[in-house]
Amino acid sequence: HWLAGEDGAKRVIQDRHGHIVQNVESIRPVRPGRDLVLSIDLRIQYLAYRELKAAIRDQRARAGSVVVLDVASGEVLAMVNQPAYNPNDRDQILPATYRNRAATDIFEPGSSIKPFFVAAGLASGKYDERSVIDTSPGFFKVGVKIFEDERNYGAIDIATVLAKSSNVGMAHIALTLSPLELWSTLTRLGFGQVTTSGYPGESAGLLPAYSQWRPIGIVTMSHGYGLSVTPLQLAHAYATIGAFGFARPVSFLRLETAPPGERALQERTCRELVGMLESVVAAEGTGKLAAIPGYRVSGKTGTAWKATAGGYSTDRYMAVFGGVAPASAPRLAAVVVIDEPGAGLHMGGQVAAPVFSRVIGGALRLLAVAPDRPVNTPEELPQSPALGGTRAAAPL
């Protein structure tokens, strides 16, 4: 039992009244019970709550979630949802707001899944950071379905495939791998199964059995459709990449020592991928608004049409950004999901990436994580977020 201690035992000499007059030897030491402490850092939780609430308001979105994980331990440092509720005002509470969307709600992740298909390609040995993919003429046909890029990018390396979120490039990579290779990588990263958090009602998402995969389905999944994830699941996968291949259990409890985790991917594969994902946040990438002054950031944008009866909506979107920072030695992993932004912008790089920048930028400074990128102007110097509070430390 987590809280229960364990009695010790020792050999003693007693007088005739039962009083101990001499300790002879210790047979078994006393083991105290462990404290039960929430892993949530109240400062980061408030920061995530504030920024998500502002984004939902400004983008006139239906809902949203933010999850922040400690890469080294798997601890949940922040998990927030909108709309939320005030437990002190029960008259205003709606049943839907009770739901922890970050752990229970599933969605198709769009292009935020692409790094994990690239990881499968790198792990196969068929690709590395020098590999070049010919995306000409800017579209790719599988059966009767045509997949397109914004324009013809020509021959590009994999970092550029990610930076430009090239659907054609991803199709080429995915179709050179077997369904088993792809499924195995995604499964080792935790997709299609609940995390170890133990949260009641957590969803496992949806990852079809690889025996059902056909070429058009493989390409579709490499673009983030045909499989579903939770924000927590997606954040855990990014944390595994940030841990350079170690999948550490997700925990809502403060841990005394970080678990070693299980090897999901080779370190070299993850280091190459983290380096490639920096190009997404560079000036020419789709996730440039996720950049954090003073820190290197690796991540990926995602924008997905929402499923409707009989197909997909053309005006309702999920905007996503997932990533890790600092890229040189990732400390935090996070995912931001904005459901149905309605203020004119709908891309993950426009809507979710700025939230990631503000939340993770503030969190890194609160945790006193050293910057790993030089700044060129005074405006680029990291500024500490103005907020109070502390990490939850009282035993429950």
68 belongs to a structural domain: yes
305 plus 325 within the same structural domain: yes
Structure tokens at 303: 């924008």
Tell me if the bond preceding 231 is cis, omega within 30° of 0: no
Give Cα 117 distance to the centre of its chain.
Answer: 15
Q: What is the pLDDT of residue 73?
A: 96
Task: State the chain's mean pLDDT as an integer.
Answer: 92
113 plus 173 within the same structural domain: yes
138 plus 269 within the same structural domain: yes
109 plus 11 within the same structural domain: no
Q: What is the pLDDT of residue 302?
A: 97
Structure tokens at 396: 């429950």
160 belongs to a structural domain: yes
Structure confidence by residue, pLDDT tens digits, 43-68? 999 999 999 999 999 999 999 999 99
**Mean pLDDT for the stretch of residues 351-356:** 98
9 plus 59 within the same structural domain: no
Measured CA angle at 346 (ends 342, 351), to 5 deg: 100
25 plus 81 within the same structural domain: no
55 plus 23 within the same structural domain: no
- Asked whether residue 370 carries a pLDDT value surpassing 80, the answer given is yes
**Mean pLDDT for the stretch of residues 277-294:** 96
Please report which confidence band the pLDDT of residue 357 belongs to, taking 50, 70 and 90 as the band edges.
very high
- Asked whether residue 99 carries a pLDDT value surpassing 50, the answer given is yes
371 belongs to a structural domain: yes
Please give the Cα distance from 348 to 332 (Å, whole number): 19
In this structure, are residues 118 and 159 in contact, taking their beta carbons and an 8 Å threshold?
no
19 plus 128 within the same structural domain: no
Q: What is the pLDDT of residue 88?
A: 83
Burial profile 17-37: b = 16 or more Cβ within 10 angstroms, e = fewer = eeeeeeeeeeeeeeeeeeeeb
226 plus 305 within the same structural domain: yes
- Domain containing residue 102: CATH number: 3.40.710.10
Q: What is the pLDDT of residue 394?
A: 35
- Asked whether residue 205 carries a pLDDT value surpassing 50, the answer given is yes
Q: What is the pLDDT of residue 97?
A: 80
Domains in the chain, number? 2
Structure confidence by residue, pLDDT tens digits, 63-84? 999 999 999 999 999 999 999 8
244 belongs to a structural domain: yes
Structure confidence by residue, pLDDT tens digits, 322-343? 999 999 999 999 999 999 999 9
Q: What is the pLDDT of residue 389?
A: 45
161/394: higher pLDDT: 161
56 plus 20 within the same structural domain: no
Q: Which domain holds residue 368?
A: 42-380
338 belongs to a structural domain: yes
- Asked whether residue 308 carries a pLDDT value surpassing 80, the answer given is yes
- Asked whether residue 395 carries a pLDDT value surpassing 80, the answer given is no
139 plus 26 within the same structural domain: no
Please give the Cα distance from 375 to 354 (Å, whole number): 19
**Could you tell me the pTM of the whole model?**
0.90
The residues that are catalytic are: 111
64 plus 188 within the same structural domain: yes
Please give the Cα distance from 37 to 348 (Å, whole number): 34
